[in-house]
Structure 1
Amino acid sequence: MTSLDVRDMLDLPNSAGPRPAKKQKITNARPNLKGLQREVQSLGGDNPISIVPAVPQFKKRRLVSRKPAAKWELKPFRNSARDDDMTLKHWRRKVEVPPKQEPQEGEGGEAAESEVKEEVDDSAFAKFNVQVNIPKYDDEQYEAKLKNEDWTKEETDYLMQTARDFDLRWPLVWDRYEYQPTPPPSTEDAADSTALVPELKTRTLEDLKARYYDVAAKMMSVHRPVQFMSQVEFSLHQLMSSFNPVQEALRKRFAENAMSRSSEERREEESLLIELKRIMARSERLNEERKDL
């Protein structure tokens, strides 16, 4: 069956129209790059090959201030936080000092000489050397206000120095507290001597706190009486005076027991608290009913 038979069956005209012409591709003229062979240019396809320009191009020069460079000098400095007078040197920007007028000569023909003393700067990190205020006392104040049968003056001084060294961080103070009582002075008749060596006492953390707060509160009232204290100072004085080492030890023991509870003990305690609330609510309800009667 030919195409004419198909056209007869479909009642189509025998004469077919002309086919549409194909669109022709419009190609732009390729740039003729000098210095390249034809085969190399054809490798680029429609995209032309980029070539680095032969003339170098540099960035524009930035605008720089025409001020002269800063001058630096090596200057000595000390650190006021140190006990020794160690002097170090560091670089500092030089400060331009206007020139002074030359001294005029006197009648005797001698010129006045000006002595320039070089000032030593303090270190910028000396301000971070913050120390706690530890109460200070002398022998008379200790005998009048701070004397205690359980503490000697030497051990009290050792406690204050240890608290100053560790910035009142009491766990560290108690850990590093190793006071050794001074033995009695040796004599010629050492064999016949009946002097007793002071007994070494073990101090707990609460004992150290109690002694320190007692000394601090008493010396605070010595330097400023209670009636002249401000509200903040009076509250601090009352807090230190009312420190109870026994109550502090019980509080820590209760906290340790609460932290070491098991899950079963915790659930049992919660159930007991719920039952206690029920009993209290029931007793309140019974009291209200009795009032109505």
Structure 2
Amino acid sequence: MSDVLDILDVERPSTPEVSKETILGTDARKNKLMQKRKLIEATFKRPEGMHRELYALLFSDARDNPPLLPTDSSQGYKRNKAKLGIRRVRPWRWMPFTNPARKDGVMLCHWRRLADEGKEYPFAKFNKQVPVPTYTEAEYQQHLASSQWSRAETDHLLDLCRRFDQRFLIVRDRWDTTRFPTGRSVEDLKERYYGICQTLARIRAPPGQEPKGRAFDADHERRRKEQLLKLYDRTTEQVEEEQTLLGELRKIELRKKEREKKTQDLQKLITAADNSAEARRVERKGPKKKLSVQKSSRAEPGAVESAGIRFPDFKACGVSLRSHRMKLPASVGQKKTKAIEQLLQELGVELNPTPSDEVCQNFNELRSDMVLLYELKLALATCEYELQTLRHQFEVLAPDRAAATAAAVGVPPPGGATALSGTSSIGIGSTLGASTTELGSISDTPARGISE
């Protein structure tokens, strides 16, 4: 009937549709289970701050309390039992064997599979022996004879090296002191043995081919052991003293690097000051032009290469105020800014003069020279402090030589450096004063023109 109503496009009465769930009643069961689950989740809510893994250990999936004693649950993985007795056990037998590494032919016994009977001893492949050279009577008389070693001692040395696989500590321990009372150290044994090996390799090498290998340096080995023994026998105070000396060495290296960096910075400042003074001297020697000519040939604010302050260039910008050219960049710190303002007040220069082209250029040059003067004073103070520190250290370490050295070299008294700093400050201050006078004459002219 429902299909007919759908074909005729007739609205059906609002009756519940009969389905499998409504017949079996599973919807109601699902709703009850969902409500029960929500109730359980609301009851067993995880406290705030507790990790999920810790909360999972407190309750199981059925929200049961944890058991007091460990129980074996049927749910989960099961361990597979060992399946014994399925295959037949391979037979083993206690049987004798001989070790090829031994020359005495001793017979030993061990457990071994019957399938491996008759095979070679598996550890025989690790029996590696170092070949010890042999020589003839003619070779010994011509090349190996030595005034410090006899033929019997040499043969005994090679025999022990062959028996104990060149383990020279064991060779030194097994040395026959009854036959050869002359004491031989490990370095002496190594030097004689490796000297024989190198000599035989050289005389037996084919013509035109150099043998590989190096001679054993016994003196170097003795010095190495002595140094190692001294290092091992150090006391706690000596170790602490060495650590202190290493720390002082690192400090000296750091101070050296800082001193080199300060020297480079000071050299840059001196070079910049010389270049600035030379450029100003050339400008003063040139003929003075009229104000109209100066206005026509406008000075570019970014053309002045200043080591003190690098002012921004407004060439590529659009419309901008001329006073922005006199604005200090952000790279200038607060200390330098306050020092510039204090110097301008001492020289009687306005902090914000009339921003014409020439005023902007000269005002920027003036402040750049002020910053250069400030940096030179700081560098001079640092050099004076280092000089006084080194002089004091020299007087403490060598008081007798300090006065003689100062008189011979002609070191000025402590007030000499201060006098020098005052002279340099006056010299640069006079230069700044001349620049200030020029700036004032330039800044007054546009002002009068505007007032007229």
TM-score, normalisation: structure 2: 0.33
Higher helix share: 2
Which fold has the larger relative contact order, with Cα–Cα distance below 8 Å and residues 6 or more apart in sequence? 1
